[in-house]
Amino acid sequence: MTVHQQTPLIPKCSLCKKVMEISEGDILYGTEWYHKSCWDAVEKEQSQRSIPDADLIPIANYA
């Protein structure tokens, strides 16, 4: 019997590339994770683009 080891999916912040420890306030945007502080920076850069609310999941509302 073959045992398949599942590779744990460790989310990394899409901005700073550090491993995420998911906590309240962190952001899942589509399939990309951001620290809260990193997201703030991304949001400023992308302020000219509108981000659909449906794609943005604040962890505070997710848990």
Q: Token pair 């945007």 is at which residue? A: 29
Residues 2-41 that bind Zn ion (CB under 5 A): 13, 15-16, 35, 38
The token pair at 5 is 């080891």
Question: Residue 19's beta-bridge partner residues?
Answer: 12
The number of beta carbons lying within 10 Å of the beta carbon of residue 54 is 6
Q: Which is nearer to Zn ion, 17 or 49 (CB)?
A: 17
For residues 3 and 28, which CB has a smaller minimum distance to Zn ion in the complex? 28
Binding residues with Zn ion: total (CB under 5 A): 5
List residues binding Zn ion (CB under 5 A). Answer: 13, 15-16, 35, 38
